[in-house]
Amino acid sequence: MRTLSDDETALVFTKLSKYIGSNIKSLLDRSDGLYCFRLHKGRVYYVKEDVMKVAALLPRENLVSMGVCFGKITKGKKFLLNITALEFLSPYCQHKVWVKEASEQNFMYGNHIYKSGLFRISDNTPKYAGVVVYTHNDIPMGFGVAAKSTSECRHANPMDIICFHQADIGEYIRNEDTLV
């Protein structure tokens, strides 16, 4: 377990700012304590500072996990956001997409969202912005990238892709052995 280098911090914050913008400060300085990001075995963990200090006492080879795994840094020096970060991204997200009830299962199987399955999209969502995907009942179920802006969605065909799939809560079952 170690602190992130400057390059790694830039990777993580760039990816997070795509989804939550300048709310990264709110993610680190919360009312219930200070939080930080730590790297362990190629994975980036979001951990409370008290827990991090206790985890620092353990030998690295005995430490399996700490805090919440936000994602991993690949060998190609890219940061891949994990579905376990959804709970922390959804309160701070800037752009949202709501899916019709009939298309929820389709998204949960890892497919993109089409215009025919779109229930609602937040105003002023730009093209290629990070979005959090909600059910029509306002339950977060994943995140993705907007394939079209809000204005383009109004004039899109029913089979046009509106949101590219990035992660969904179905991954807890499909990839349960690799999430930690």
Domain segments of the chain as ranges:
2-84, 93-174
Each residue's pLDDT tens digit, 16-66? 999 998 888 888 888 888 898 999 888 999 999 888 888 888 887 877 778
- Residue 119: predicted pLDDT: 94
Tokens 């300048």 belong to 22
- Closest C-alpha among 102, 85, 103, 95 to residue 169: 85
Cα-flanking dihedrals φ and ψ of residue 62, to 5°?
Answer: -90, -15
- Residue 40: predicted pLDDT: 85
Percent of the chain whose predicted confidence (pLDDT) is above 70: 99
Low-confidence ranges of the chain (pLDDT < 70): 179-180
The CATH topology of domain 2-84 is: Nuclear Transport Factor 2; Chain: A, (3.10.450)
Q: What is the CATH architecture assignment of 93-174?
A: Roll (2.30)
- Residue 54: predicted pLDDT: 84
**How many Å is the maximal CA-CA distance in the chain?**
57
Instruction: Supply 29's token pair.
Output: 């300085």
| Whether 149 contacts 126, CB under 8 Å | yes
- Residue 166: predicted pLDDT: 93
Q: What angle do CA 144, 147, 151 make, to 5 degrees?
A: 120
Could you write out the three-class secondary structure of the chain? CEECCHHHHHHHHHHHHHHHHHHHHHHHEECCEEEEEEEECCEEEEEEHHHHHHHCCCCHHHCCCCCEEEEEECCCCCEEECHHHHHHHHHHCCCEEEECHHHHHHHHCCCCEEHHHEEEECCCCCCCCEEEEECCCCCEEEEEEECCCHHHHHCCCCCCEEEEEEEECCHHHHCCCCCC
- Residue 52: predicted pLDDT: 84
How many other C-beta atoms can be found within 10 angstroms of the C-beta atom of residue 68?
16
- Residue 180: predicted pLDDT: 61
